């Protein structure tokens, strides 16, 4: 599992993760990227990564977390006079997680009910441990 970092580092981490997935995870998702759901743009990132891995023909592995860099992200936004990338409150972050789970579940390959259930239980286990 590749951990997520601050937004200004994430593109590089995503690129590195993609390279690892291309080299080692072509048959099954053994390389997992992390998505921080306290960021407003996480849904767009999840959709982009799903489309990208599909186009590349590699399995999509992911881990959801709430997030860890709120103070730093807000300071950077304030210093740059840009809107904060952080959700306004805990409930919005929870809504992000739930919507992203629905997006993932709705976009799994048809006919993969067992994989859906296994994926769902892995995601639930991750959510439970992040609460």
Contact 116, 108 (CB under 8 A): yes
Identify the bridge partners of residue 13 per DSSP, sorted by sequence position: none
Q: Which two tokens stand for residue 48?
A: 């982009």
Contact 49, 17 (CB under 8 A): no
Contact 63, 85 (CB under 8 A): no
Q: Is the pLDDT of residue 85 over 50?
A: yes
Confidence (pLDDT) at 130: 56
Contact 62, 35 (CB under 8 A): yes
Q: Which two tokens stand for residue 50?
A: 């799903």
Contact 53, 21 (CB under 8 A): yes
Q: Is the pLDDT of residue 120 over 70?
A: no
Say which residue the tokens 């997520």 belong to: 4
Give the pLDDT band (50/70/90) at residue 114: very low
Q: Is the pLDDT of residue 112 over 50?
A: no
Instruction: Give the lowest-confidence range in 13-22, 38-47, 65-74, 113-122.
Output: 113-122
pLDDT in tens, 35-52: 999 999 999 999 999 888
Over pLDDT 90: what percentage of the chain? 50
Give the pLDDT band (50/70/90) at residue 105: confident
Confidence (pLDDT) at 113: 46
């Amino acid at each position: 599992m590749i951990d997520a970092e601050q937004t200004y580092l994430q593109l590089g981490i995503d690129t590195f993760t993609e390279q690892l997935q291309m080299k080692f995870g072509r048959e099954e998702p053994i390389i997992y990227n992390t998505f921080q759901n306290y960021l407003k743009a996480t849904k767009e990132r999840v959709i982009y990564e799903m489309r990208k891995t599909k186009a590349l023909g590699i399995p999509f592995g992911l881990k959801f977390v709430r997030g860890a860099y709120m103070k730093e992200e807000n300071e950077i936004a304030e210093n740059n006079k840009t809107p904060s990338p952080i959700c306004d409150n805990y409930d919005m972050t929870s809504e992000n997680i739930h919507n992203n789970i629905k997006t993932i579940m709705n976009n799994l390959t048809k006919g993969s009910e067992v994989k859906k259930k296994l994926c769902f239980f892995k995601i639930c286990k991750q959510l439970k441990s992040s609460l």
